[in-house]
Amino acid sequence: MVLLFLWVGVLHAQVSGTVKDENGSILQGVIVASSNGKNVAATDKDGNYELELDDGSTHLAFSFRGYVSQTHEVTDGVLDVNMKRAETYDLDEKVHFGNYTQRKTLVTDATYSVTGEELRRSPVGNLSMSLAGRIPGLFTRETYSEPARTNTELYVRGSSSPNGGTAMIVIDGFPYDYNANQLFEYITANEVETINVLKDASAQALYGIHGANGVIVITTKRGVKQPLKIDAEINHTFEQRTTTPPHISSADFVRLRNQAGYNDGNGRYSYFSQVAEEGFVAGEDRSFFPDNNWRAMSARDITQMSRVNVNLTGGGDKAVFYTNVNVLRQDGMWKVDPTTTDYNPNNNFLWANIRSNVDVNLNKYLSIGVNLSGNIKRERTPGGNAVSLTYGGSWDGFAKRIWYRFFTLPPYNYGPTTPLVQDPETGDISGGEVVVTETEPITSWAVINRLGYDQYTVTNIYAQFAPKLDLSFVTPGLSLSGSYGYQTNAVKGLFANRTYEEWVRTKDYSELEFEKIRTQVNTPLQYRSSTSFYYNLNYKGVLNYHRRFKDVHDVTAMAYSFYQHLNKAGGGLPYKRVNSGVSVGYGFDDRYLVKFDLGYSGSEQYSSENRFTAFPAVSAGWVASNESFLKENPVLTYLKLRGSWGKAGNDRGIGRYVYLDNVTLTGGGFGFLGGHNVNEGQVANPLLDPEIITKKNLGIDLSLLNNLTLTVDMYNERTENGVTSAISRTPDYQGVPLVNYPRTNVGVYENKGYEVALDFTRDINRNLTVSLGGWFAHNKNQIIFWDESERAEDFAYRIRQEGYPLGQQWGYMVDDHNGNGYFNSQEEINNSGLVYEIGTPRPGYLKYYDLNADGKINDKDKVPLGKGALPNFFYAFHGGFKYKSFDLNFLFQGIADYWTIDMSNSRVEYSFEGMYSEWHKTAWTPERYANGEDITYPALSAQKNSNHEASNFFLEDKSYLRLKNLEMGYTFKAYNGIRVYLSGQNLFTWDKLDHDIYGPEGHYDGGIEGIPVYRLYNVGLSIKF
């Protein structure tokens, strides 16, 4: 102990000073840190700081986002600093890898960081929505668009394994891949310091078996030594659909339905009598011949969201803290009929997030970090649970199940309720019952107004306790930290549901009569509830070492081990994982950099022989601009070449404990034989290994004239031991269900691409700063080997997976040699000599290519359509300027080279009792053809037929470019700054669809049935105290 005190006594300094910018303006919030990293302070509103150094540091680093970092030798006493705005890479920027941080100039991996400050510009409810277009190589796809409950899939560099999927999220050092997307609901941009995306193996190897799908490292803000600082922000957002499907009138509907019936040979007025059709077309008496726009009746055109955010940070030598409170309120999307409910079923959400990060120095060596964040989400939706209770099946979403029923319920249906009738004698009023159709018992209006509501309360608690021991007494630069953390998430569902009587209008349109069908009755609300719960327990130990010797030898080393115990919602044994790893880096004179990583992780999915896998990676960098021949070069101000090779792993996409047979003795089966039954599940493959993906990356970072930066990365990822299922080769008749048949490690898969990012920033003068930038990324994956059975010789394409990207779609090619691709007469069908094995064609049906020339149209004639499940090309460009107190920023984001086949219910006309859209209005008829009119759809039918097969007719180009985000602000010089701003999200979209019925993104349920992507307009006010 005596030794320690002696040791520490050597360097001890008290420093204070003022930080200003090059124009002499005071800078608040500049981080002043000792070079060994232990002592940290921030400048106050007067630009002053004060710091006591006790960790033996020789230098002080000054860093401020947007400014060039500076390092100064420690001198006791006053140290004033002037900082310059950054117009190029900040080489001292800290890059977070989850287990350690690294100065940007020393980084040899492919990573990309974005700050919370940038993400905050998107006025969105869910943090994941703000990532679109911000990060080269991160593909975002909005898969569900209900305001504030949006789901966004995140893929890092596309897909590195068919069994992989979306990226893993690391929050303050702990990895999560269960419900990872949902975790974004529990963090707001205000709490985020940075989000760093780890793209290559040298960055991912430490995460071992879980790293291969890419890692998104979220680092939350922490306090630094400074007086109390308060930032408050209020936002109010108006939300509007980017697209709204046009209403199909009942006149059109009835006409088209009868046209379909006529084409089917059921006569001219098969679904609606002549009187009815004429009545609907004339539209004079809407009580007999209604035209209901169900969407306009029940969906609001504008919804609103408001958010309040308060940030508190500050601290002294003993303790620092950061606290954030964020409250979000999302209003309902529906118009509720107040006459029919005495409760409010409208969907609305109230989310409250509280985060508190506290760091306490217990003594010179021991400090403790405590992160505590709690989230309460209260969400309400109309009658969801009642739908599944009453009608069976699953209720798998809030708003989407209401939205699609706007279009499945035909516009000619009377409603939403039967008319009220007063009995002349008793005075009793009857009626007001829900009008349904014979086949569809649920209407959107009834879900909103007559089924009650569900309310979910989600409490998410995330707590982390992290003691850190400064081991500089062992050797300078060494520290040991441990972390213990847990996340618990509990959902309490409260279902207040009721049912309603179902009435249908009788078929006689000359009278307004209704009859009750089925057995439902009107009930008052009944309460039920549900509980669902999951938790994560995490343990981690990290040993960190960083020291710079003689100012040229920069040595970093890190070793860690991690254990996670995850109990998923809904039962089952807990999931356990063990990860550990070592990373050693060496830099010589900031010129030659090399790093070695070794991840070593275990997964309970594999037998004890295969349970642990090592994932090595090496990377190297050369900062050429630090060589003497380039130093001080006025044009090429920075140049770094990087390269990495390494492995990452994936254990997803397989069942549990695949190395064990799963045979259990249960009850059930038949009553005889003692009431015992045997379930045979998975058949073991004890030899199965995790997928190992070898990744290579080459990169270059350069900067010209200190204004222009360019980063280029090229990569190649290859899996040689992809886990394939037995489905492709093993026949069913062997008797083991193929889902249970042992999987094998024989697949070969490749994923490659490149990313180019260019940025320009320039301070034109002291009043005007301009920035402009953009990036594009190309990504392409391919299945090389999948143990696929080759089809018979008469298939046009005998192989349908190998050689194609993941998710390759297949279908028929329309033969449009005759000019329009339809059979235009029975004669033309006869002359074609084609036998359709997918339903006999009629005039007006699509004519397909008989590619294998066997005279038959069947599965063998299918061709690849589109280019796989993920877009091949993503890009974005952004920019902005700041003029005096006014600032403006914009972001455009797009994808290209992407097609999907849309055969959703609304696209094909036979669904439900017929679903018609614009393109069906000009379907093929002999008259239209004879008159040479435009034809947009095959001859209508009420039946599924040969037109309703996947073909290039239904292939849609889903490329788009979006003005994703725009923000304008003005800052007043009151307090420490009052800023008012306007911002918008998804303001304009350019796409290649040949219709405006739905947009290119956000309807992955299909067509108009998915909720459209929303456009947001936001007004905000922020005040700094």
Positions in 676-735 near other proteins (CB under 8 A): 676-680, 683, 727-735
Amino acid at 393: G
Residues contacting 201, CB < 8 A, separation 6+: 211, 615, 617, 644, 645, 646, 647, 648, 693, 694, 695, 696, 697
DSSP E strands in 443-574: the ranges are 452-470, 478-497, 502-505, 514-517, 526-549, 553-567
Q: Does 508 bind other proteins (CB under 8 A)?
A: no
Residue number with CB closer to other proteins (541 or 803): 541
Could you tell me whether strands 366-382 and 421-422 are parallel, antiparallel, or unpaired per DSSP bridges? Answer: unpaired
Q: Does 441 bind other proteins (CB under 8 A)?
A: no
Distance CA 132, CA 145 (A): 14
Residue number with CB closer to other proteins (250 or 985): 250
Q: Does 513 bind other proteins (CB under 8 A)?
A: no
Tell me how far, at minimum, the Cβ of 429 lies from other proteins, in Å: 10
Closest CA to 172 of 376, 355, 310, 375: 355
Q: Does 578 bind other proteins (CB under 8 A)?
A: yes
The residue whose two tokens read 């985060």 is 355
Tell me how far, at minimum, the Cβ of 667 lies from other proteins, in Å: 9
Distance CA 160, CA 780 (A): 10
The piece of 42-50, 198-206, 525-533, 591-599 that touches other proteins (CB under 8 A) is 525-533
Q: Does 423 bind other proteins (CB under 8 A)?
A: no
Amino acid at 463: A
Residue number with CB closer to other proteins (664 or 931): 664
Beta bridge partners of 238: 304, 1017
Residues contacting 875, CB < 8 A, separation 6+: 774, 775, 776, 777, 893, 894, 895, 896
DSSP string, 368-415: EEEEEEEEEEEEEEESHHHHHHHH-S----SHHHHHTHHHHS-TTS--
Chosen residue from 522, 530, 818, 922 binding other proteins by CB under 8 A = 522
Q: What are phi and psi of 930, to 5 degrees?
A: -60, -35
Of residues 768-827, which lie at the interface with other proteins (CB under 8 A)? Answer: 789-792, 794
The piece of 101-109, 658-666, 697-705, 888-896 that touches other proteins (CB under 8 A) is 658-666
Tell me how far, at minimum, the Cβ of 809 lies from other proteins, in Å: 15
The piece of 235-243, 516-524, 699-707, 763-771 that touches other proteins (CB under 8 A) is 516-524
The piece of 91-99, 154-162, 232-240, 938-946 that touches other proteins (CB under 8 A) is 938-946
Q: Does 75 bind other proteins (CB under 8 A)?
A: no
Tell me how far, at minimum, the Cβ of 675 lies from other proteins, in Å: 8
Tell me how far, at minimum, the Cβ of 608 lies from other proteins, in Å: 5
Chosen residue from 137, 164, 261, 811 binding other proteins by CB under 8 A = 261
Q: Does 84 bind other proteins (CB under 8 A)?
A: no
String marking each residue 959-998 x if it binds other proteins according to CB under 8 A: ----------------------------------------
Q: Does 2 bind other proteins (CB under 8 A)?
A: no
Of residues 585-604, which lie at the interface with other proteins (CB under 8 A)? Answer: 602-604
- Identify the three-state secondary structure at position 317: coil
Q: Does 71 bind other proteins (CB under 8 A)?
A: no
Tell me how far, at minimum, the Cβ of 119 lies from other proteins, in Å: 34
Q: Does 268 bind other proteins (CB under 8 A)?
A: no
Chosen residue from 75, 266, 530, 825 binding other proteins by CB under 8 A = 266
Could you tell me whether strands 13-21 and 81-83 are parallel, antiparallel, or unpaired per DSSP bridges? Answer: parallel
Residue number with CB closer to other proteins (98 or 1020): 98
Residue number with CB closer to other proteins (196 or 472): 472
Chosen residue from 282, 663, 764, 853 binding other proteins by CB under 8 A = 663
Chosen residue from 608, 818, 825, 922 binding other proteins by CB under 8 A = 608
Distance CA 499, CA 391 (A): 10
Tell me how far, at minimum, the Cβ of 410 lies from other proteins, in Å: 14
- Identify the three-state secondary structure at position 257: helix
Of residues 842-861, which lie at the interface with other proteins (CB under 8 A)? Answer: 858-859
Chosen residue from 672, 819, 833, 931 binding other proteins by CB under 8 A = 672
The piece of 118-126, 213-221, 522-530, 762-770 that touches other proteins (CB under 8 A) is 522-530
Tell me how far, at minimum, the Cβ of 134 lies from other proteins, in Å: 35
Contact by Cβ (8 Å): 202, 617: yes
Contact by Cβ (8 Å): 935, 875: no
Distance CA 983, CA 963 (A): 12
Contact by Cβ (8 Å): 773, 877: yes
Tell me how far, at minimum, the Cβ of 474 lies from other proteins, in Å: 6
Tell me how far, at minimum, the Cβ of 730 lies from other proteins, in Å: 7
| Residue 647, H or E segment | strand 636-650
Residue number with CB closer to other proteins (320 or 434): 434
Q: What is the dihedral of CA 150, 151, 155, 156, to 10 degrees?
A: 60
Of residues 889-928, which lie at the interface with other proteins (CB under 8 A)? Answer: 910-912
Tell me how far, at minimum, the Cβ of 190 lies from other proteins, in Å: 35
The piece of 16-24, 35-43, 447-455, 836-844 that touches other proteins (CB under 8 A) is 836-844
Q: Does 953 bind other proteins (CB under 8 A)?
A: no
Chosen residue from 48, 58, 179, 270 binding other proteins by CB under 8 A = 270
Contact by Cβ (8 Å): 514, 506: yes
Question: 438 vs 125, 503, 518, CA distance in Å?
Answer: 40, 9, 9
Closest CA to 500 of 454, 419, 431, 439: 431
Residue number with CB closer to other proteins (660 or 710): 660
Tell me the site size for other proteins, rule CB under 8 A.
94
Tell me how far, at minimum, the Cβ of 673 lies from other proteins, in Å: 4
Q: Does 943 bind other proteins (CB under 8 A)?
A: yes
Tell me how far, at minimum, the Cβ of 795 lies from other proteins, in Å: 9
Distance CA 39, CA 52 (A): 7
Chosen residue from 240, 388, 561, 716 binding other proteins by CB under 8 A = 561
Of residues 8-67, which lie at the interface with other proteins (CB under 8 A)? Answer: none
Chain Cα centroid distance, residue 612 = 31
Cβ-in-10-Å burial (0-12, 13-18, 19+) of 506 comes to exposed
Handedness of CA 1008, 1010, 1013, 1019 (dihedral sign): positive
Residues contacting 1015, CB < 8 A, separation 6+: 239, 240, 241, 242, 984, 985, 986, 987
Distance CA 1000, CA 997 (A): 10
- In degrees, to the nearest 5, what angle opens at C-alpha 699 toward C-alphas 697 and 703? 165
Chosen residue from 301, 508, 661, 994 binding other proteins by CB under 8 A = 661
The piece of 305-313, 589-597, 762-770, 838-846 that touches other proteins (CB under 8 A) is 838-846
Chosen residue from 281, 312, 372, 543 binding other proteins by CB under 8 A = 543
String marking each residue 450-489 x if it binds other proteins according to CB under 8 A: ---------------------x-xx-----x---------
Tell me how far, at minimum, the Cβ of 427 lies from other proteins, in Å: 13
Closest CA to 84 of 101, 105, 66, 110: 66
Q: Does 537 bind other proteins (CB under 8 A)?
A: no
